Amino acid sequence: MPAQRMIDMNADIGESFGAYRIGSDAALLKIISSANVACGFHAGDPAIMAQTCEAAAAQGVAVGAHPGYPDLQGFGRRAMTLSAGEIEAVVAYQVGALQAIAARAGTRVAHVKAHGALYNAAERDRDVADAIARSVRSVDESLILVAAAGSAMAEAADRHGLRFAGEGFPDRTYDDDGHLLSRALPGSVILDPVLAAENARRMAIEGTVETIGGRKIKADIRTLCVHGDVPGAVSIASAIRAMLESKGVSVVPLPALFH
């Protein structure tokens, strides 16, 4: 089977904290193949991480670390200015914490995807991206980095000899430069499962992203990011998976893509 007939589906999981519950983890874990698990800085806590790893392992979903800024109050979505050394340390810390929690659940951390404002910084800031890549490599060089295809993070993964999986967002609108349309703009989030599924098909089979202006841009997408945090999001994820399977695309965890 040719390589392009396999793709991963990832989602942010385990974002509850203490008494607080958020997300649709149980439903998403039946759909996705890789879970980005919050590591206690912007969301998640040790007990939630343990439950999340156990649930992912039970569903055969691979787990990845989803490190963020130390900003629980802002859910890691507020930009913060950390030095490269601080970023290296906080990423390693969070990845390691999840590795231990995952080992207890009989699974292992397969990938790393930065969260929120850290993800955004790593998309365009080479210093931030390098700090993340350096940190991940020093902890475990077999870890796969996940970020937007074509981002500074992609280049940093390459520079540091890490495997990289570019991700696409089938439930988001892209502008004509191939970037995500700002969430502040109308139409940025796609709520129609049919449209999202068609985007997923195009990303997985044609290897292209269609922009708001109708352009088709080539993109090496290995994993599709889906969501569980807005109404209807799980239905969209479901529709995406159904579309992929109907077209003969296998949804497999990230490590299976790199064999």
Told to check if 18 binds a copy of itself by CB under 8 A, we report yes
Residues 210-239 within binding reach of a copy of itself (CB under 8 A): none
- C-alpha–C-alpha distance, residues 224 and 221, integer Å: 7
Whole-number Cα distances in Å, 14 to 47, 50, 62, 247: 10, 9, 13, 30
The number of angstroms, rounded, from the C-alpha of 107 to the middle of its chain's C-alpha atoms is: 18
The number of angstroms, rounded, from the C-alpha of 29 to the middle of its chain's C-alpha atoms is: 14
Nearer to a copy of itself by C-beta: 90 or 239? 90
Told to check if 123 binds a copy of itself by CB under 8 A, we report no
Told to check if 58 binds a copy of itself by CB under 8 A, we report no
> Are 43 and 98 in contact, with CB atoms under 8 Å apart?
no
Shortest Cβ 242–a copy of itself spacing (Å): 30
Nearer to a copy of itself by C-beta: 85 or 187? 85
Rule CB under 8 A: choose which of 97, 146, 162, 249 binds a copy of itself.
97
- C-alpha–C-alpha distance, residues 128 and 80, integer Å: 11
CA angle, 73 as apex, 72 and 79 as ends, to 5°? 85
Told to check if 82 binds a copy of itself by CB under 8 A, we report yes
Q: Site for a copy of itself (CB under 8 A): how many residues?
A: 47
Told to check if 74 binds a copy of itself by CB under 8 A, we report yes
Count CB neighbours of 194 within 10 A: 11
User: How would you label 67-84 residue by residue, b for 16+ Cβ within 10 Å and e otherwise?
Assistant: bbbebbeebbeeeeebee
Shortest Cβ 102–a copy of itself spacing (Å): 9
Whole-number Cα distances in Å, 162 to 114, 139, 154, 158, 224: 15, 12, 9, 6, 20
Rule CB under 8 A: choose which of 59, 70, 150, 179 binds a copy of itself.
70
Residues 167-206 within binding reach of a copy of itself (CB under 8 A): none
Told to check if 81 binds a copy of itself by CB under 8 A, we report yes
Stretch that binds a copy of itself, among 75-83, 124-132, 190-198, 215-223 (CB under 8 A): 75-83
Told to check if 25 binds a copy of itself by CB under 8 A, we report no
Shortest Cβ 168–a copy of itself spacing (Å): 25
> Are 53 and 105 in contact, with CB atoms under 8 Å apart?
yes
Rule CB under 8 A: choose which of 3, 26, 47, 194 binds a copy of itself.
47
Binding site for a copy of itself (CB under 8 A): 17-22, 40, 43, 45-47, 49-50, 70-75, 77-82, 85-86, 88-90, 92-101, 103-104, 117, 135, 138-140
